[in-house]
Structure 1
């Protein structure tokens, strides 16, 4: 069975939206190396509509030689959306038909490498609470963002997690990887 993972930049106050507005001076070489290892295992991406539209507007025209651009552009990308329709313009992208949970459960049972959920808050939440996400990596930056969308919301179900890995980087980032606690 294929592993489903997600990684999000995370402020101390829980903001995950628009990390480009608050992570600037705390991104360091260790964080970059960890991200390189993470994406090195992924051969399929899941994106939500918002993440897809933001990234499709930037990454296809990113300079050649950009490590993330060179990774994400040729990657198979599946997009969860209730509002997009038709063919998607970004190479190797297609819409998910039917419920996200059903699609991802079938994808996990297919051949291939790791499946990564990228830049998409709603799908990460949905797949975590459905019990399909094998690991969630939060890259906690030493900053209080003050505003922006948070990953977790009032009314979310009580969900027990277990710490799978942790690392502190030289600029004070904490890289915390969690999985659902069983038992």
Structure 2
């Protein structure tokens, strides 16, 4: 069975939206190496509509030297959306046409490497609470962002997690990887 993972840059106060506004001075070589390791394992991407539209405008035209662009552009990308229709323009992008949880469960049973959830806070939440997310990596930066969307909100269901891995980086980031706790 393939593993489904998500990794999010995370402020101490729980903000995950627009990390480019607050993470720039604490991104370090260890985080870069961790991203490289993730890119070696992931061979399929899941995305939400908003993230897809933002990334589809940027990454196909990004400089060829960018390692993330070289990773994400050829990758098969499956997009969850209630409003998009027809063929998607970004290479190897496909619209999910069945219920998301059924599609993801089937994708996990298929052959291949890890499946990564990218550029979608709501998709990460939905798949985590549906019990489909195998690992959630939070790259906690030593900053209070103050404003922006948070991953978890009032009213979320009580969900027990298990720490799978942890690392402190040279600039004080904590990389915490969690999975759902069994039972």
Q: Moved runs in structure 1, 4+ residues, more than 3 A?
A: none
Q: Are 1:134 and 2:139 counterparts?
A: no
User: Could you tell me how far apart the structure 2 residues matched to 1:84 and 1:154 are?
Assistant: 29
Q: Secondary structure at the match of 1:116?
A: strand
Q: How many residues align?
A: 183
| Paired residues for 1:1-183 under 5 Å | 1-183=1-183
Q: CA deviation at 1:47?
A: 0.3
TM-score (norm. length: structure 1): 0.99
Q: Unpaired runs of 5+ in structure 1?
A: none
Between the aligned partners of 1:60 and 1:143, the Cα distance in structure 2 is: 31
TM-score of the pair, normalised by structure 2: 0.99
Partners of 2:60 and 2:132 in 1: CA distance: 29
Structure 2 Cα separation of the partners of residues 125 and 148 of structure 1: 16
**Structure 2 CA distance, aligned partners of 1:19 and 1:49?**
19
1:43-92 deviation per Cα after TM superposition (whole angstroms, max 9, x unaligned): 00000011101111111011012100000000000000111111111000
> Any gaps of 5 or more consecutive residues in structure 2?
none
Encode CA deviations 1:112-165: one digit per residue, 9 max, x unaligned. Answer: 111000111011000000000000000001111111100001100000000000
Q: Secondary structure at the match of 2:25?
A: helix
